[in-house]
Amino acid sequence: MIAPPKKEAGQLPKAVGQPSTAVDLSIVIVNWNSAGYVRQCVKAIQLNPPACAYEIVVVDSGSFDECGEMLGREFPAVRFVQSQTNAGFASGNNLGAEHSRGRALLFLNPDTEVVGNALDRLFKTLNRLPDAGLVGARLLNSDRSLQTSCVQSFPTILNQVLDAEWLRRIFPRSSFWGMKSLFGETLIPPPVEVISGACIMIKRSIFKCVSGFDERYFMYSEDLDLCYRVRQAGFDCLFVPDAQIVHHGGGSSASARSMFSNVMTRESVFRFLKLHRGRPVAWGYRAAMGISSLIRLPLIAVLNGAKKLAGKKNRKGSFRKWVAILRWSVGLESWAAKKSGGIKDAGQTDGGTVQNPAATPGGPEAKRSCAV
């Protein structure tokens, strides 16, 4: 097995804050140029705290935006970890976990706000149900509408090619999207394939067993990968519909280049498919996205022209998005691959065999291989 690179204990950045001797839940928040969001996130946690003993650990991924100073002034009990570089979201979360003490870990985006007793509901579900490996909440947009990306299906070539907002609206219960659980009414939290990385609570024992987040993902799809490995270890990823978290979205990447997220999302899915489905599927996905771009671009151009003639606002952003995806599909956005780890060929040993990225148990026969 190829395990994600580990940091030596002596290389860990120094944490600032109040250590806790007995902690049930550690809340890990990774900051990158989002000090304002972090302030609101921590404040919401303190206004709606869990009943269990908890701690908050904030990691700054090399942005040096005075987040540590703000926390020291306003929230002195929060543990702050300053990383000298931005090694990615997965790396930042792993660093926060290493500086935490809780029996359970909550990885929470800085641009989120806890609503009511969401943390209690997540924590109780995680500890009450023996098959629960990790749990996630119902995410809400800033206007309190449902954020349908809070649960997803694992990516396939077909569901990625057909991924479009209008199709999701027409067929919200299709297995293509993995969103069916959002619209059901059940007293038991249903198992889903993927929980959004904006809010993931996991038992520390399981997090350690599957070797944490794979740091070869710089940004995006690290949640897909973690959910996949938790399921491979024989545990469920559960959606807790009565736990609500507001996710404003885009807080940490608002100042990044306009097409960064579009390209990095595709690169990360490509990496996931290569790691877990093999090279043929991954390269098939890349080719399919290129073909999809070639089909969509003329249609968008015609639609934009028609809107311009009618005096309506056109979709220049959509056109630029698919130009960027087309460029990525033919290798003209190579920076994305370099961002995602710079390793030889994701998921391969020198002998060229596709491997699981971490020390993952592997299949159904491995059920309960992680001690809980």
Query: DSSP assignment of 125-149, as one string?
Result: HHHH-TTEEEEEEEEE-TTS-B-GG
Residue keyed to tokens 């926390």: 71
Cα→Cα distances 363→108, 122, 186, 213, 322, Å = 28, 26, 28, 19, 37
Q: pLDDT: is 341 or 27 the higher one?
A: 27
Place 245 in a pLDDT band, splitting at 50, 70 and 90: very high
Give the residue-averaged pLDDT of 74-89: 92
The backbone torsions φ and ψ at residue 362, rounded to the nearest 5 degrees and listed phi first, read 120, -45
Distance CA 157, CA 298 (A): 22
Q: Report whether pLDDT(350) > 80.
A: no
Residue keyed to tokens 């698919």: 322
Distance from the Cα of residue 58 to its chain's centroid: 17
List domains and CATH numbers for the chain. 9-247 (3.90.550.10), 260-339 (no CATH)
Q: Report whether pLDDT(2) > 80.
A: no
Distance CA 2, CA 74 (A): 42
Distance CA 113, CA 293 (A): 36
Give the residue-averaged pLDDT of 47-53: 95
| Type of residue found at 147 | Q
- Convert 66-84 to b/e letters by CB count within 10 Å (16 or more is b): ebbebbeeebeebbbbbbe
Residue 353 CB contacts under 8 Å (≥ 6 apart), including other chains: none
pTM: 0.83
Q: Report whether pLDDT(4) > 70.
A: no
Distance from the Cα of residue 141 to its chain's centroid: 16
pLDDT digits (tens, 9 = 90+) for 154-212: 999 999 998 887 788 888 888 878 888 888 777 789 999 999 999 999 999 999 999 99
Nearest to 321, CA basis, from 229, 257, 369: 257
